[in-house]
Amino acid sequence: VITAATPIDVPRDWVGLRDRVRDCQHCKLCATRTQTVFGVGVEDAPLLVVGEGPGADEDAQGEPFVGRAGKLLDQMLLSIGRSRSKNTYIANVVKCRPPGNRDPEADEVEACRPYLDRQIELIKPKLIVGLGRTAAQRLLHTDEPLSKLRGPLFEYGPTRTPVFITYHPAYLLRSPREKAKSWQDLKRIHQLLQQHDAG
Ligand code: URA
């Protein structure tokens, strides 16, 4: 188990990175996972979507967002012409399922940080969309509540990649009334990506 202060050398290519994640034992989640869930999609996509971590379905299948929340996410993306097979990459803050679907703990998020950082470096997305509080706080290095993070455009890393935060689809399944606001967010995301396509 490493701490946030432990430097770890993460491969700079997709194959090496994928292998490293598959065998990772840097936090306690490795003891309870079925398998790691690396990420899926187009490796140079303009849009990167970041979720929290694998649930039971993802842990079983090895792919992010394949359960109920994933079906909703796919519909949301499709409504703005995006999909994991065409123009989007989907990854999580942590690559291993937290037991019982609890939130990932701070040490787990930190242990996994270099992997998502490297994925972002390799993808070079034009826009990063963070889903829900865990992704928002991790991408933006903050403890602020989601209510403060959803809406404004932020920047990520030295490349100053734009970051937009919206609701997690699992939250929308529990609170369907928020879908109207989520739809506003999707339109905004679409606009931001169109600006990129045009420019
Ligand atoms: N929820 C997430 O945050 N990620 C997944 O991959 C699935 C559900």
pLDDT in tens, 26-67: 999 999 999 999 999 999 999 999 999 999 999 999 999 999
Pocket test for ligand 1, best of 36, 48, 52, 134 (most atoms within 8 A of CB): 52
In angstroms, what is the span from residue 29 Cα to ligand 1's centroid?
15
In angstroms, what is the span from residue 161 Cα to ligand 1's centroid?
22
Please, are residues 74 and 65 in contact by the beta-carbon 8 Å criterion? yes
Nearest CA to ligand 1 atom 7: 65
| pLDDT in the model for residue 132 | 98
* 117-170 pLDDT tens trace: 999 999 999 999 999 999 999 999 999 999 999 999 999 999 999 999 999 999
Please, what is the Cα angle at 47 between 191 and 152, to 5 degrees? 55
Domains in the chain (CATH in brackets) are 14-198 (3.40.470.10)
In angstroms, what is the span from residue 106 Cα to ligand 1's centroid?
17
C-alpha–C-alpha distance, residues 74 and 80, integer Å? 10
Instruction: Supply 141's token pair.
Output: 């290095």
Percent of the chain with pLDDT over 90: 93
Q: Check pLDDT > 80 for residue 7.
A: no
In angstroms, what is the span from residue 97 Cα to ligand 1's centroid?
9
C-alpha–C-alpha distance, residues 93 and 115, integer Å? 9
| pLDDT in the model for residue 196 | 75
C-alpha–C-alpha distance, residues 119 and 94, integer Å? 12
Taking the CA of residue 134 as reference, the ligand 1 atom at the shortest distance is 3
